[in-house]
Protein backbone atom coordinates (compact mmCIF):
# COMPACT_ATOMS: atom_id res chain seq x y z
CA UNK A 1 0.00 0.00 0.00
CA UNK A 2 1.54 3.31 -1.09
CA UNK A 3 1.61 6.52 0.92
CA UNK A 4 -1.79 8.28 0.90
CA UNK A 5 -1.86 11.57 -1.05
CA UNK A 6 -1.94 14.50 1.39
CA UNK A 7 -2.29 18.26 0.82
CA UNK A 8 -0.57 20.75 3.16
CA UNK A 9 -2.97 23.05 5.04
CA UNK A 10 -2.39 26.14 2.86
CA UNK A 11 -3.11 24.05 -0.23
CA UNK A 12 -6.32 22.72 1.37
CA UNK A 13 -7.57 26.25 2.10
CA UNK A 14 -6.70 27.40 -1.42
CA UNK A 15 -8.45 24.37 -2.90
CA UNK A 16 -11.61 25.04 -0.88
CA UNK A 17 -11.72 28.58 -2.26
CA UNK A 18 -11.13 27.38 -5.81
CA UNK A 19 -13.80 24.66 -5.56
CA UNK A 20 -16.39 27.14 -4.28
CA UNK A 21 -15.72 29.43 -7.24
CA UNK A 22 -15.70 26.47 -9.65
CA UNK A 23 -19.03 25.17 -8.41
CA UNK A 24 -20.61 28.64 -8.37
CA UNK A 25 -19.57 29.10 -12.01
CA UNK A 26 -20.90 25.64 -12.85
CA UNK A 27 -24.43 26.24 -11.53
CA UNK A 28 -24.78 29.95 -12.30
CA UNK A 29 -26.47 29.39 -15.66
CA UNK A 30 -28.75 26.49 -14.70
CA UNK A 31 -32.41 26.66 -15.65
CA UNK A 32 -35.21 26.44 -13.11
CA UNK A 33 -35.79 22.84 -14.17
CA UNK A 34 -32.12 21.97 -13.65
CA UNK A 35 -32.12 23.53 -10.18
CA UNK A 36 -34.99 21.15 -9.32
CA UNK A 37 -33.16 18.06 -10.63
CA UNK A 38 -32.70 15.29 -8.01
CA UNK A 39 -29.03 14.98 -7.05
CA UNK A 40 -27.14 11.81 -6.16
CA UNK A 41 -28.11 12.60 -2.55
CA UNK A 42 -31.54 11.00 -2.22
CA UNK A 43 -33.02 13.75 -0.05
CA UNK A 44 -31.73 16.71 -2.09
CA UNK A 45 -32.25 18.49 -5.38
CA UNK A 46 -29.44 20.45 -7.03
CA UNK A 47 -30.75 23.55 -5.25
CA UNK A 48 -30.69 21.78 -1.88
CA UNK A 49 -27.08 20.72 -2.41
CA UNK A 50 -25.94 24.27 -3.15
CA UNK A 51 -27.95 25.50 -0.16
CA UNK A 52 -26.17 22.92 2.01
CA UNK A 53 -22.78 24.15 0.82
CA UNK A 54 -23.62 27.69 1.97
CA UNK A 55 -24.41 26.56 5.53
CA UNK A 56 -20.91 25.79 6.79
CA UNK A 57 -19.50 29.31 6.86
CA UNK A 58 -22.68 30.84 8.26
CA UNK A 59 -23.65 28.41 11.02
CA UNK A 60 -23.38 29.79 14.56
CA UNK A 61 -23.16 27.62 17.68
CA UNK A 62 -26.63 28.67 18.96
CA UNK A 63 -28.10 27.91 15.53
CA UNK A 64 -26.32 24.55 15.50
CA UNK A 65 -27.68 23.62 18.93
CA UNK A 66 -31.19 24.65 17.92
CA UNK A 67 -30.96 22.59 14.72
CA UNK A 68 -29.63 19.55 16.60
CA UNK A 69 -32.51 19.68 19.09
CA UNK A 70 -35.03 20.11 16.29
CA UNK A 71 -33.54 17.08 14.50
CA UNK A 72 -33.70 15.06 17.72
CA UNK A 73 -29.95 14.48 17.69
CA UNK A 74 -29.74 13.07 14.16
CA UNK A 75 -26.82 14.66 12.30
CA UNK A 76 -28.18 13.58 8.90
CA UNK A 77 -31.66 14.94 9.64
CA UNK A 78 -30.14 18.18 10.88
CA UNK A 79 -28.18 18.65 7.63
CA UNK A 80 -31.27 17.94 5.55
CA UNK A 81 -33.33 20.42 7.57
CA UNK A 82 -30.73 23.20 7.40
CA UNK A 83 -30.32 22.81 3.65
CA UNK A 84 -34.08 22.77 3.08
CA UNK A 85 -34.51 25.96 5.10
CA UNK A 86 -31.86 27.82 3.10
CA UNK A 87 -33.14 26.47 -0.22
CA UNK A 88 -36.56 27.85 0.61
CA UNK A 89 -35.32 31.16 1.99
CA UNK A 90 -33.01 32.12 -0.90
CA UNK A 91 -33.27 32.15 -4.67
CA UNK A 92 -30.76 30.23 -6.82
CA UNK A 93 -29.01 33.50 -7.70
CA UNK A 94 -28.69 34.40 -4.02
CA UNK A 95 -27.30 30.94 -3.18
CA UNK A 96 -24.72 31.24 -5.96
CA UNK A 97 -23.70 34.66 -4.64
CA UNK A 98 -23.40 33.28 -1.11
CA UNK A 99 -21.20 30.42 -2.34
CA UNK A 100 -18.89 32.92 -4.02
CA UNK A 101 -18.86 35.18 -0.95
CA UNK A 102 -17.75 32.28 1.25
CA UNK A 103 -14.90 31.26 -1.07
CA UNK A 104 -12.11 32.72 1.08
CA UNK A 105 -13.65 31.78 4.42
CA UNK A 106 -11.92 29.16 6.59
CA UNK A 107 -14.91 28.77 8.92
CA UNK A 108 -16.17 25.23 9.05
CA UNK A 109 -18.60 22.98 10.88
CA UNK A 110 -17.71 22.66 14.60
CA UNK A 111 -15.57 19.58 15.20
CA UNK A 112 -14.67 19.14 11.53
CA UNK A 113 -11.20 19.13 9.97
CA UNK A 114 -9.85 21.42 7.19
CA UNK A 115 -10.35 18.56 4.70
CA UNK A 116 -14.07 18.23 5.43
CA UNK A 117 -15.29 21.28 3.47
CA UNK A 118 -12.99 20.35 0.58
CA UNK A 119 -14.25 16.78 0.45
CA UNK A 120 -17.82 18.07 0.73
CA UNK A 121 -17.38 20.38 -2.25
CA UNK A 122 -15.75 17.78 -4.49
CA UNK A 123 -18.25 15.02 -3.72
CA UNK A 124 -21.31 17.28 -3.85
CA UNK A 125 -20.04 18.78 -7.09
CA UNK A 126 -20.37 15.31 -8.63
CA UNK A 127 -23.71 14.82 -6.88
CA UNK A 128 -24.92 17.74 -8.99
CA UNK A 129 -22.99 17.29 -12.22
CA UNK A 130 -23.73 13.65 -12.98
CA UNK A 131 -27.55 13.83 -12.80
CA UNK A 132 -27.37 16.94 -14.99
CA UNK A 133 -25.26 15.05 -17.55
CA UNK A 134 -22.52 17.66 -17.31
CA UNK A 135 -18.80 17.29 -16.57
CA UNK A 136 -17.24 18.97 -13.55
CA UNK A 137 -13.50 18.46 -13.12
CA UNK A 138 -11.51 19.14 -9.95
CA UNK A 139 -7.67 19.14 -9.86
CA UNK A 140 -6.22 15.59 -9.70
CA UNK A 141 -4.22 16.24 -6.51
CA UNK A 142 -7.35 17.54 -4.78
CA UNK A 143 -9.43 14.52 -5.78
CA UNK A 144 -6.64 12.13 -4.73
CA UNK A 145 -6.34 13.78 -1.31
CA UNK A 146 -10.13 13.65 -0.82
CA UNK A 147 -10.17 9.94 -1.68
CA UNK A 148 -7.37 9.23 0.81
CA UNK A 149 -9.32 11.18 3.44
CA UNK A 150 -12.74 9.60 2.89
CA UNK A 151 -11.78 5.93 2.47
CA UNK A 152 -10.56 5.39 6.09
CA UNK A 153 -12.97 7.92 7.64
CA UNK A 154 -15.14 6.14 10.22
CA UNK A 155 -17.49 9.08 10.67
CA UNK A 156 -18.32 8.91 6.97
CA UNK A 157 -18.65 5.13 7.07
CA UNK A 158 -15.71 4.43 4.78
CA UNK A 159 -14.21 1.41 6.57
CA UNK A 160 -17.57 -0.33 6.97
CA UNK A 161 -18.66 0.45 3.41
CA UNK A 162 -15.36 -0.70 1.89
CA UNK A 163 -14.74 -3.79 4.08
CA UNK A 164 -13.31 -6.65 2.01
CA UNK A 165 -12.54 -4.38 -0.97
CA UNK A 166 -9.22 -2.95 -2.11
CA UNK A 167 -9.39 0.40 -3.88
CA UNK A 168 -6.74 0.75 -6.59
CA UNK A 169 -6.29 4.15 -8.23
CA UNK A 170 -5.49 4.10 -11.93
CA UNK A 171 -4.58 7.79 -11.63
CA UNK A 172 -1.88 7.59 -8.95
CA UNK A 173 -1.34 3.90 -8.22
CA UNK A 174 -2.44 4.43 -4.60
CA UNK A 175 -4.19 1.45 -3.04
CA UNK A 176 -6.29 1.17 0.10
CA UNK A 177 -7.71 -1.84 1.92
CA UNK A 178 -7.57 -5.59 1.36
CA UNK A 179 -9.79 -7.95 -0.57
CA UNK A 180 -11.55 -7.83 -3.93
CA UNK A 181 -9.88 -5.22 -6.14
CA UNK A 182 -11.83 -2.21 -7.39
CA UNK A 183 -9.88 -0.21 -9.98
CA UNK A 184 -10.49 3.09 -11.67
CA UNK A 185 -10.12 6.88 -11.61
CA UNK A 186 -9.88 8.65 -8.26
CA UNK A 187 -13.12 10.59 -8.76
CA UNK A 188 -15.14 7.39 -9.20
CA UNK A 189 -13.40 5.69 -6.28
CA UNK A 190 -14.16 8.76 -4.17
CA UNK A 191 -17.85 8.61 -5.00
CA UNK A 192 -18.04 4.93 -4.09
CA UNK A 193 -16.10 5.52 -0.86
CA UNK A 194 -18.62 8.26 -0.03
CA UNK A 195 -21.54 5.88 -0.66
CA UNK A 196 -22.53 6.90 -4.20
CA UNK A 197 -23.42 3.92 -6.38
CA UNK A 198 -23.00 6.09 -9.48
CA UNK A 199 -19.24 5.88 -9.05
CA UNK A 200 -19.31 2.21 -10.00
CA UNK A 201 -19.99 3.14 -13.63
CA UNK A 202 -16.35 4.12 -14.05
CA UNK A 203 -14.81 1.24 -12.07
CA UNK A 204 -13.92 -2.39 -12.72
CA UNK A 205 -12.75 -5.48 -10.88
CA UNK A 206 -14.34 -8.06 -8.57
CA UNK A 207 -14.86 -5.40 -5.92
CA UNK A 208 -17.53 -3.80 -8.14
CA UNK A 209 -19.96 -6.66 -7.52
CA UNK A 210 -19.32 -6.50 -3.77
CA UNK A 211 -20.10 -2.81 -3.59
CA UNK A 212 -22.99 -2.96 -6.05
CA UNK A 213 -24.77 -5.29 -3.64
CA UNK A 214 -23.73 -3.25 -0.63
CA UNK A 215 -24.73 0.14 -1.98
CA UNK A 216 -28.13 -1.10 -3.20
- With beta carbons less than 8 A apart as the criterion, state whether 138 and 22 touch: yes
pLDDT value for 125: 98
pLDDT value for 199: 98
Is the pLDDT at 215 greater than 70? The verdict is yes
How does pLDDT run across 174-203, given as a tens digit for each residue? 999 999 999 999 999 999 999 999 999 999
pLDDT value for 109: 76
Is the pLDDT at 116 greater than 80? The verdict is yes
Mean pLDDT over each residue of the chain, to the nearest integer: 91
Is the pLDDT at 45 greater than 60? The verdict is yes
If pLDDT is split at 50, 70 and 90, which confidence band does 77 have? confident
Higher pLDDT, 102 or 4: 102
- With beta carbons less than 8 A apart as the criterion, state whether 21 and 121 touch: no
Higher pLDDT, 144 or 107: 144
How does pLDDT run across 141-180, given as a tens digit for each residue? 999 999 999 999 999 999 999 999 999 999 999 999 999 9
CA angle in degrees (0–180, nearest 5) for 135-82-118 = 40
Give the burial string for 25-47 (b: 16+ CB within 10 Å, else e): ebbeebeeebbebebbbeebbbb
Element (H, E) at 197: none
Contacts 24+ apart (CB under 8 A), 12-18: 12/114, 12/115, 12/118, 12/145, 13/106, 13/114, 15/118, 15/139, 15/142, 16/103, 16/106, 16/114, 16/117, 16/118, 16/121, 17/103, 17/104, 18/139
Mean pLDDT for 81-96 is 93
pLDDT value for 38: 97
Is the pLDDT at 59 greater than 70? The verdict is no
Mean pLDDT for 71-83 is 71
DSSP 199: G
Amino acid sequence: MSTPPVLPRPAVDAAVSAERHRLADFVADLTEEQWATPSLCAAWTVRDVIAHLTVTTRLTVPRLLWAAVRARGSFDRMEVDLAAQRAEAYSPAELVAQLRQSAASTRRFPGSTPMDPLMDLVVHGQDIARPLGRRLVSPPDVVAACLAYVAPNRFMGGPQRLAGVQLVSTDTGWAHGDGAALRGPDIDLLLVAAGRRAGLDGLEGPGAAVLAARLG
